[in-house]
Structure 1
Amino acid sequence: MAEVKLAQHKSMRDVFGEKLLALSRKDERVLALDGDLANSTKLDKIAENKPEKFLQMGIAEQNMLGVAAGLATVGFQPWVCSFAAFVVKRALDQIAVSIAQPKLNVKMVGAYSGLLNGCTGKSHQSLEDIAIMRSLANMIVLAPADAVELERMMEFAYEYDGPIYIRLARDPLPVIFDSASYRFELGKGIQVRNGNDVTLISTGTQTHRAIEAAEMLEKEGLSAGILHIPSIKPIDVEAIVAAAEKTNAIVTIEEHTIYGGLGGAVAEVLGEYAPVPLERIGVRDRNGESGSNDALLQKYGLTPGHIVDGVRRVLERKKKVKN
């Protein structure tokens, strides 16, 4: 069970920059590749403190991923970081053909993922990156819930020989996990909260909102369990099936389109092994837009209140199945 400390906030991108700097000092193979956004992604920490490990590739993401592939073939471990929209969508062919197919040791980090990226609007938002990356053979797809989990993921990624995509949020987020005890394990979900009426399955930034929703539901007399999924590919089939068998009602929660993301992945598991009523909370066939975090969460139906509404809907379907 995770130790939840939602009052404390910490920035993923700051931790990413600090941890990558530490890895670059530890291992001569580690390189940071930047697409002219180092100040935003915090790759500037490497540029300032370990400049020989920092490669400025400019606003040319396809070339950047191609260079990363080449570096990997001669023994380096390149870490490529830019906005998720630019890393994944602009350079998909290079990722698929030059990195994923030969299973090269390239780490791709999508910063500024989802909707909440500082009013930059739909051209800079990425609501499809999980769906795209998990469709590629040999690709691992990870989405941390907080800065503690990100640091452990990076330690795993450093040791793993192969391509990995890690999805980061822009703004400071509540700390969910205890840094002394948390351990990341590929393909394993984390039971953040136990419950009997419904299971909330969340990933990334939405896990702390799932916790808030579960607390709201508790006041209504409803018991909601929370299964956090940091490893979207491979996914924890066993934990998802166990949750379905225990509560017979699932709500997935993600800051991403419901098509092909966490909701799609969970639906695939349930369809094969444990069909139960499912409600998917995420962006529904819409592009993003500029706006404040609160306004976007409200408009796109991603607040804790929207999660509570989703629980009510799935519980109604659960009743019908029983009857």
Structure 2
Amino acid sequence: MLKGRTLGMGELERIEDRPFRTAPFAAGTLAAATRCDRLAVLTADLGKYTDVHPFRDAHPDRFFNVGMAEQALVSVAAGLAKTGWTAYCTTYGAFATRRAHDFLAIACAHGGAAVKMFAGNPGLTTGYGGTHQAIEDLALMRAIPDVTVIDPCDATEMQQIAEQAIDIPGTVYCRLLRGNVPVVLDPATYRFEVGKATRFGEGGDVGFVSTGFMTERCLDAARKLETQGVRASVLHVGTIKPFDAAAVAEFAGSVTRLVTAENHVLVGGLTSLVLDAMQEAQILRPMLKIGIPDRFIECGSVPYLQDKYGLTAARVHERVAAWLDRSGTSAAA
């Protein structure tokens, strides 16, 4: 069987020259459960595709499957939170943010409920089309007051977030990376901190500001640009809200050109936040924006869709190299 990255509904994509971990979310959740005996895990009939079965098997009395009813999922979780529990919820991001948005806003965030939503199929990680692709979820969730919004990069960050979420006050929305997930960040040295961006590299010719799995792509593209004489660096923004505007402004001020990259529509997500931060800091830089266009995306294989819409490392490098070449910066193939 192919050993590779797990995509939506169990699809696999080969991971080239990179280690991976299986079910980092499950590992982090089980670790959290050892510190919190009032942690419950709930799912909307998607346990198989959200890596919660290890928790179910270890703590059957703290696991609840509410069926295919996302509003009920959030309502039950909010009720548990009202009685002193912390509730981890899992479903697909498109269902959580479209079908249960009001419930997350009022039943959870409005009262500061300890409900942590881990949402699968973020952006173009499934080929099931517009009904299943959560391409606008970050914009929807960051607009709700008092919600922490997180877009993890890899297995290291996913596991750390799952373990730490019990300590994050109030309601949390986190995109879920599940199954076989690449290890990009060194677990021995990297530590996720809510609201803190992390810089990789010191190159000043071009700077990538990225979130989610696009950080993996940008790091790969930056390494290739370095071999072509372009000094590049990457700022990984794992937390969309609270947003580390100060780090973004400092980073933008240290580079000549800026690239934003997100597995999300270019409306209301990372790019919008970066532009706001630069405007407030009165920083102006040439900018290339990489993300999903303002449209529903068709069905298709995930590698095909990610290549078509420019979310692969090769396509990121290709677009940035062409952009730099037009502006007179060396980026020879």
TM over 0.5: yes
Q: 1:227 to 1:215 in 2, by over 3 A?
A: same
Q: 1:169 to 1:22 in 2, by over 3 A?
A: closer
Name 2:229's counterpart in structure 1: 221
Q: CA deviation at 1:49?
A: 2.2
Output one character per residue of 1:201-236: Cα deviation in whole Å (capped at 9) or x when no partner.
Answer: 111111111111112212221111101111111111
Output one character per residue of 1:276-301: Cα deviation in whole Å (capped at 9) or x when no partner.
Answer: 22221000112122222221111112
| 2:129–2:296 Cα contact (<8 Å) kept | no
Identify unmatched segments of 5+ residues in structure 2.
Answer: 1-15, 329-333
Q: CA deviation at 1:139?
A: 0.6
Alignment partners' CA distance in 2, 1:173 and 1:223: 28
1:132 corresponds to which of 128, 135, 140: 140
1:120 corresponds to which of 117, 124, 128: 128
Alignment partners' CA distance in 2, 1:173 and 1:15: 7
Q: 1:45 to 1:155 in 2, by over 3 A?
A: closer
Alignment partners' CA distance in 1, 2:326 and 2:254: 16
Please say if 1:107 is aligned against 2:107. Answer: no
Q: CA deviation at 1:173?
A: 3.5
2:284 corresponds to which of 275, 286, 289: 275
Q: CA deviation at 1:266?
A: 0.8
Please say if 1:200 is aligned against 2:211. Answer: no
Please say if 1:93 is aligned against 2:94. Answer: no
1:144 is paired with a residue whose SS is coil
Alignment partners' CA distance in 2, 1:155 and 1:21: 8
Same amino acid, percent of matched pairs: 36
Q: CA RMSD in A?
A: 2.0
Q: 1:18 to 1:279 in 2, by over 3 A?
A: same
What code does the residue aligned with 2:118 have?
V
Aligned residues: 313
Q: CA deviation at 1:314?
A: 5.6
Output one character per residue of 1:159-217: Cα deviation in whole Å (capped at 9) or x when no partner.
Answer: 12211111123463431222222211111111122211010011111111111111221
| 1:279–1:313 Cα contact (<8 Å) kept | no
| 2:246–2:277 Cα contact (<8 Å) kept | no
| 1:21–1:50 Cα contact (<8 Å) kept | no
| 2:93–2:120 Cα contact (<8 Å) kept | yes
Give the TM-score of the pair, scaled to structure 1: 0.91
1:255 is paired with a residue whose SS is strand
Identify unmatched segments of 5+ residues in structure 1.
Answer: none
Name 1:18's counterpart in structure 2: 27
| 2:258–2:286 Cα contact (<8 Å) kept | yes
2:119 is paired with a residue whose SS is strand
1:247 is paired with a residue whose SS is coil
Name 1:189's counterpart in structure 2: 197
Name 2:77's counterpart in structure 1: 68
